[in-house]
Amino acid sequence: MTGFDKDGIRRRSLLASAIGLGAAALSTSAAHAASDPAAAGSMRRYPPNWPDLQPYGTADTRVDLWPRDDNSFILPLELRPRDKDRGVVWMRDFYVNCFQDHGSGAPVYVATGTTRAPGLSIAAPWNDGIFLWVAHSLRGPWRLIDTTGIRPGAERGKVWSPEFVDENTTGRTVVAPWQEYWYDDMFGKRGEVWAPEVHRFNGKWYIVACMGDHSQKVGSFMLVSEGGLEGPYRLIEGNVDKPFGDSFIGGPNFIKPGAYFHIDGSFFSEDDNAWLVLHNDLYAKFRPDMEDIVTPTNLPLFTQTPYTPDPYREGVYVFKHGGKYFLSQAIWDRQWTGADGTTQSAYNKVAGTKQYQYDSVLAVADHFEGPYSERWTAGVGLGHNNFFVDRDGALWSTFFRNPNQGYWADPSRVAQGAVPGVVRMEWTGPAGNRVYVKRRNLGRTMKG
């Protein structure tokens, strides 16, 4: 979610009216509620915050914070030929957003994520690009977007791929040299695109994505459509030579020195301003023409409250809700056996631990740059997600059940991993200002 997008659903007005109603109810009933506990319980509009777990960095593993049958479901995305044996689209880094169709006025949901190519079990060492699905309801039907008018005879729904390099022309780059497929003796064919997300800003469609570990350069980039949501897309000028930001030493040891940049690029917009958000806590404002960021190197960092030690974090993402800014990060909950024999869980414990769940951890601030509060567990297993508001103003998150390590890598569960899931979220109101997975017995039943 990008906060209020004047080209999308009117999110801010929905939230403002909800906050106003809550404030009015409190002001007119405060005296009665103070003297009557039952009345106080009946007038409460928001679920409560849970007390902070101690010490700071402890992971909250309660089942209430898991996607469950009563608060989540798997989206029935249209299957491609490669998906039919499995019966569900293989998906990582799942992304959904809701926009308003300017022609019909109806809501349009858009879904995308990291997918795998035919014949591969994962999305590496190469995959075949970015696919988009669209629907008018979260429940579907979800259809691959119609790209046949742009590439007749090509695979439907694919809006960008390294294989589109032949579409480059003088002054128009679709695929940069560093994004092309390449080959070596270690992996053979190499080059995959990760974690795409779709945004509409000032009348144009944008996709922010990342070239993954097996690419010639690893890092984030942005595409802009020269038509509608289906494209055709081209690369912005600032990414023709390299990904966003600076290169640094990182990633697997098979990545060439100088080829690793900041991954998992995300997009945040508010009014007529837009920002790039990168992992490792970085952000940058886009130029007014949206062809590059204002300061291409030495990017500023969010001010936040780190763990001790602060673990590796990715999928960093900002969304706005209830007038506050929320910083989301994907962090592995790591477990070990304590001295008393009980299972311990934390985000800042590394030595002698094992990965358990890939969680979404949030912090909140009054300003986009921070300072951000202490973090809390927003959802167990939601890591590398995004938050969005549906057509009715309800808040949701995506999830995909990371099958790479931990709980969903168990042989008994791995077939249930890498799925396109959504889960209802709940906001604890302007006083609490926390967002959690919809917990049991704390609010109304799931919609969608």
| CATH number, residue 378 | 2.115.10.20
**Count of domains for the chain:** 1
Q: For residue 247, with 0-12 CB atoms within 10 Å meaning exposed, 13-18 middle and 19 or more buried, which class applies?
A: middle
What's the domain range around 210? 11-437
225 located within any domain:
yes
379 located within any domain:
yes
206 located within any domain:
yes
2 located within any domain:
no
424 located within any domain:
yes
Q: What is the pLDDT of residues 204-254, one digit of tens each?
A: 999 999 999 999 999 999 999 999 999 999 999 999 999 999 999 888 999
Q: What is the pLDDT of residues 56-88, one digit of tens each?
A: 999 999 999 999 999 999 999 999 999 999 999
Q: What is the pLDDT of residues 256-281, one digit of tens each?
A: 999 999 999 999 999 999 999 998 89
Tokens read off for 407 = 């709980």
Mean pLDDT of the region 104-110: 87
Q: For residue 207, with 0-12 CB atoms within 10 Å meaning exposed, 13-18 middle and 19 or more buried, which class applies?
A: buried
104 located within any domain:
yes
pLDDT of 308 over the 50 cut: yes
124 located within any domain:
yes
| Dihedral angle computed from the Cα positions of residues 331, 333, 334 and 340, in that order, rounded to the nearest 10 degrees | 150
448 located within any domain:
no
Banded pLDDT at 55 (limits 50, 70, 90):
very high
